[in-house]
Structures are given as C-alpha cells and as structure tokens.
C-alpha cells in the first residue's frame, strides 16, 4: 500500500514538472500526449489532442501520439522502460551526491521531451499518424448526435466511451473504442478535447484509468492558463515589434522622399537670396530669408527623422569602441551647432580641467550625442543665456555635462523625455519647436556605447545632462586650448 502511494506521488510530481515546463501551446500538447502514452506514467496506447476554435466553431487536430502497430508499440514500450531504468540510476546517483531531489526535475523533462521527439522525428509511421491527424477539422454544429467530441465537450467530467455508445465520424481512422475523453477548459471557455485509448493493451479500461485521466485533465486545465498567458504575451510582443518595424520603415521612406525636394528648395532659395540669378528688392530678400529659415528648419527635422529611423534599425548602432578624444569630437560638432543656433543670442562656454582623458567610445556616435544635447540646450535656453560644457574625471570615468539656463523639466516628466516623439509641452502653439527625438537618439547611442546618462532639472532654472564613459589611463590626454 505504501509503495503504491509513493509511486502515485512520484507520478503526480513528474506530471506537474512536465506540464509546468511548457511555455508554448505546441509543447503543451506534445507533453500532455507524452504523459498519456508513456508506460512509466499512464500507459495508454494512443493520445489525441484537439483544439476548439470558437471563431470557426471547429475542432482541429493538433497532436496524435502513439504507435500504429502492436509491434511498434511493444518496441517503443521497451525503449521507454529502458530509458526509465537509466534515469532511475541517474536519480539515485544524484541523490547520493547532492541530497537534493529538486535536482531531478530536468530528468523528468528530458524523458517526456525525448519521447515525443522520438515519436515525431525518429519514426516515419509515428510522423504519418500525427501529420494525418493535424488535417482533422470538424465543425461542431455538423457533428452527429452522440458524437464523442460533442459528448466530451458538453460534460464537466471525463467519460469512458464504449463501442456501442459513441459516434466517431471524422475520427474513426484514429481513435479506437473503448476510449477515454474529456474536455480541456480555460477561463475563456472550452479549449479542446483530450482522448486516449488502449488499442494495443490486453488490459481493459477501468475506473482507476478514468480517475487518473480526470486528474490529468484537471491539472492540465490549470497549467493551460499559464501557457495561454505566455502565448498571448509572446504574440503581443511580436505584434509590437512588427508595428515598431513598420513605423521605422515608414519614417525612413517618408524622410528620404522629403529630403530630396527640400535640398533643392533650400539650394534655390539660397541662390535667389544671394542674387546669383539677378537683383531682388529688399522686401523680396526679407521674404526669401524667411523661406530659407523655415526650409532649413524643416530640413533639420527630416534629417532628425532619418537619423532616428537609422538608429532604431541598427544602422548607426554598429559602433566600434576605441579610444576617443572627447575634445576633438566637441570641436567637430561645434560648427553644426552654430548653424542650428542661427541668430539666437546664446553663448556656449566650455569649462574644462587642464587635461581631458580619452574615453572608450565611438567618434561618430559621440559627435551625435554632443549634437543633440547641445542642440536641445541652445533651443531651450532663453535669449542671452549661457550653455555650459563641463568635463570631470572621477573613479576611472569621465563625466561630460551639458548645462543650460532654460525652462527646466518637471520631475514627473524626467522618466519619459527619452521616449520617441515625447514633448513635455504638447500644445500646437508651444514656444519651442522640434519633434522630440533627439534624446531618444542619445539614449539609443549610449546604450550601444555602454555609456550612462543622468538628468537633473529645476523648472525655471535649467537642466544638466551628464553622460558618463570609461576613462582611458594610457597617458594620452588632451590639453584644452
């Protein structure tokens, strides 16, 4: 009696571990069928899993496990029993060495997985059985009265179906009576039907078989909730990735299409304003200046969109981490900032220690980080204000800070300023233009460079953006001049 109780507890543990290892519905169905046909657990000859599709109201064949002949069944049974003996020896060895029964869980997974891999990949006949069963599609409203699927789906308890009491139309090539059948349910309703038979067993089905079958269905329905949740999360993640990919492609295509005519407009306006094609009046020159300013602004926005699309698609994140001179990168980007600043009276004042160490970064990526941080600082700093650039070395790292005297950022918005297109002020008549993508690019580039960024801000006073890189102590330091 004690031995039987111990064996049953061991069986329940194995089933629990096996079903709990599934994260996809396909694996869940396979493991569920494996548990049923494994002679070390339930020992049925065959197992069938059908999924119910509520949208089409159809029962769809998903998995058929088992043998197609008595000879194949006996060989498979012998192989699985031998595998079980081998695993038992390994269990005893592990228990002696570790004293931890939990260390055996992966062995249970291995056994169930090796079973259905053998059935689906190693044996042609088994593969044919499963392939043929996956073609099954039976409309629920077309099932004949007394059909096994309708009877199982309508009953809260699993049932044993005898030769004379069940209709098998559509399943008669697979299922052999007598058989056990019961429904799998989730919080969403009917999920499917599980069927098992003993066509190659001389021992008839009995009440103990039905009891264990019902227990398995109950446990499987609970495990099914977790599998469905993971599947839904995976599907949602994949959809979001696809939407993000389409958005990036759209940005890239539209930006490219806008860039070509904009370049021509800016160029022709410049020729007209400079009187390269003839004299113009002062009022015409003033109008052309305005056209030039707005065209250049639009061109900058298009370039920003292109950069974001390229960074998100990985085009600009293929960085090469090498020793980089941070001052040299700053010198290279200053003319671009001057061009973006235009007529705005904002001073840019570096405040640098006597020597600045090189950092482990990428020259092009660092220039882009400088550009977007300085561009934002100039944009949000009031007329006649100052933008500071500070370099500080500590604990083997170099901090580069961009400090502005701008409008500041509310604390509740600091966590979102690196999101795509995020604007603290969304009003159409807001005082500061831009698309809200510069800081997104900075964040993506820093991630690729293994750099860090910290933001401190006070509304009405200004903001400090500090990026941090590993400093290189190889004696190659740049003097500020």
Q: How do residues 280-317 score in pLDDT, each as one tens digit?
A: 888 888 888 888 777 776 776 777 677 666 666 655 55
Name the β-bridge partners of 472. 358
Judge if pTM exceeds 0.75.
Answer: no
Q: How do residues 101-125 score in pLDDT, each as one tens digit?
A: 555 555 445 445 555 445 544 444 4
Q: What distance in Å separates the CA atoms of residue 172 and residue 421, rounded to the nearest whole number? A: 60
Residue 240's alpha-carbon distances to 81, 226, 235, 243, 413, in angstroms, are 46, 21, 9, 5, 24
Q: How do residues 320-342 score in pLDDT, each as one tens digit?
A: 889 999 999 999 988 888 877 76
Q: What distance in Å separates the CA atoms of residue 345 and residue 353, rounded to the nearest whole number? A: 26
- Highest mean predicted confidence (pLDDT) among 87-96, 186-195, 295-304, 385-394: 186-195
CATH code of the region 322-479: 3.30.565.10
Average pLDDT, the chain: 79
**Least trusted range by pLDDT, from 92-96, 140-144, 157-161, 285-289:** 92-96
- Highest mean predicted confidence (pLDDT) among 309-323, 330-344, 361-375, 403-417: 361-375
Q: Cis omega (within 30 of 0) on the bond before 359?
A: no
Give the CATH fold of the 2-205 domain.
Beta-Lactamase (3.30.450)
Q: Which of these, 467, 301, 446, 299, lies nearest to 391 by C-alpha position?
A: 467
Q: Which of these, 303, 297, 394, 305, lies nearest to 343 by C-alpha position?
A: 297
**Least trusted range by pLDDT, from 94-98, 128-132, 418-422:** 418-422
What residues does each domain of the chain span?
A: 2-205, 242-312, 322-479
Rounded to 10 degrees, what is the CA torsion of 7, 11, 12, 18? Answer: 160
Q: What distance in Å separates the CA atoms of residue 460 and residue 380, rounded to the nearest whole number? A: 11
Per-residue burial over 367-406, b if 16 or more Cβ lie within 10 Å, else e, is bbbbbbbbbbbbbbbeeebebbbbbebeeeebbbbbbbbb
Q: What distance in Å separates the CA atoms of residue 6 and residue 13, rounded to the nearest whole number? A: 11
Q: How do residues 47-106 score in pLDDT, each as one tens digit?
A: 999 999 999 999 999 988 887 777 877 777 777 777 777 767 777 777 777 766 555 555
Return the pLDDT at 428. Answer: 35
Identify the band that residue 128 occupies on the pLDDT scale cut at 50, 70 and 90.
confident
Count of beta carbons in the 10 Å neighbourhood of residue 30: 25
CATH code of the region 242-312: 1.10.287.130
Q: What distance in Å separates the CA atoms of residue 386 and residue 467, rounded to the nearest whole number? A: 19
User: Do 62 and 134 form a contact (C-beta atoms < 8 A)?
Assistant: yes
Q: Is 172 exposed, middle or buried (0-12, 13-18, 19+ CB in 10 A)?
A: exposed
pLDDT of residue 430 exceeding 70: no
Q: How do residues 238-251 score in pLDDT, each as one tens digit?
A: 888 787 777 667 76
Which residue reads 């593969």 in tokens? 127
pLDDT of residue 345 exceeding 60: yes
Return the pLDDT at 121. Answer: 44
pLDDT of residue 185 exceeding 90: yes
Return the pLDDT at 269. Answer: 83
pLDDT of residue 476 exceeding 80: no
């Amino acid at each position: 009696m004690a031995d039987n109780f111990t064996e049953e507890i061991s069986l329940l543990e194995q089933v629990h571990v096996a079903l709990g290892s599934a994260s996809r519905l396909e694996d869940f169905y396979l493991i569920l069928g494996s548990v049923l046909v494994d002679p070390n657990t339930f020992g049925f000859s065959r197992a069938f899993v059908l999924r119910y599709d509520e949208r089409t109201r159809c029962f769809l064949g998903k998995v058929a496990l088992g043998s197609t002949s008595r000879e194949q069944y006996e060989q498979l049974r012998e192989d699985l029993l031998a595998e079980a003996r081998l695993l038992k020896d390994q269990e005893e060895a592990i228990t002696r060495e570790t004293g931890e029964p939990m260390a055996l869980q992966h062995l249970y997974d291995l056994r169930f997985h090796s079973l259905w891999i053998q059935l689906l990949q190693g044996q042609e006949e088994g593969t044919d059985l499963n392939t043929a069963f996956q073609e099954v599609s039976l409309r629920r409203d077309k099932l004949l009265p007394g059909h096994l699927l309708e009877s199982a789906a309508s009953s809260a308890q699993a049932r044993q179906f005898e030769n004379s009491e069940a209709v098998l139309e559509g399943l008669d090539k697979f299922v052999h009576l007598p058989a056990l059948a019961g429904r799998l349910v989730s919080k969403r309703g009917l999920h499917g039907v599980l069927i098992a038979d003993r066509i190659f067993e001389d021992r008839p089905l009995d009440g103990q078989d039905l009891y264990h079958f019902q227990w398995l269905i109950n446990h499987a329905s609970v495990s099914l909730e977790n599998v469905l949740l993971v599947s839904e999360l995976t599907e949602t993640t994949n959809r979001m990735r696809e939407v993000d990919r389409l958005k990036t492609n759209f940005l890239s295509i539209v930006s490219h299409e806008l860039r070509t005519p904009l370049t021509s407009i800016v160029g022709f306006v410049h020729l007209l304003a400079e009187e390269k094609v003839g004299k113009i009046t002062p009022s015409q020159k003033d109008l052309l200046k305005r056209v030039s300013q707005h065209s250049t602004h639009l061109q900058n926005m298009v370039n920003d969109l292109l950069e974001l699309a390229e960074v998100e698609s990985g085009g600009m994140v293929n960085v090469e981490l090498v020793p980089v001179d941070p001052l040299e990168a700053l010198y290279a980007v200053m003319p671009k900032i001057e061009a973006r600043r235009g007529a705005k009276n904002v001073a840019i004042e570096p405040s640098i220690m006597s020597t600045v160490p090189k950092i482990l970064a990428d020259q092009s990526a660092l220039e882009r980080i400088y550009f977007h941080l300085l561009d934002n600082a100039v944009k949000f700093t009031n007329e006649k204000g100052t933008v500071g650039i500070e370099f500080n070395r500590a604990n083997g790292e170099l901090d580069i800070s961009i400090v502005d005297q701008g409008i500041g950022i509310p604390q509740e918005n600091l966590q979102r300023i690196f999101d795509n297109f995020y604007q603290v002020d969304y009003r159409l008549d807001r005082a500061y233009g831009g698309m809200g993508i510069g800081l997104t690019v900075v964040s993506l580039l820093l991630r690729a460079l293994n750099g860090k960024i910290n933001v401190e801000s006070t509304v009405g006073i200004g903001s400090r953006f500090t990026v941090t890189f590993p400093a290189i102590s190889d004696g190659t330091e740049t003097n500020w001049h």
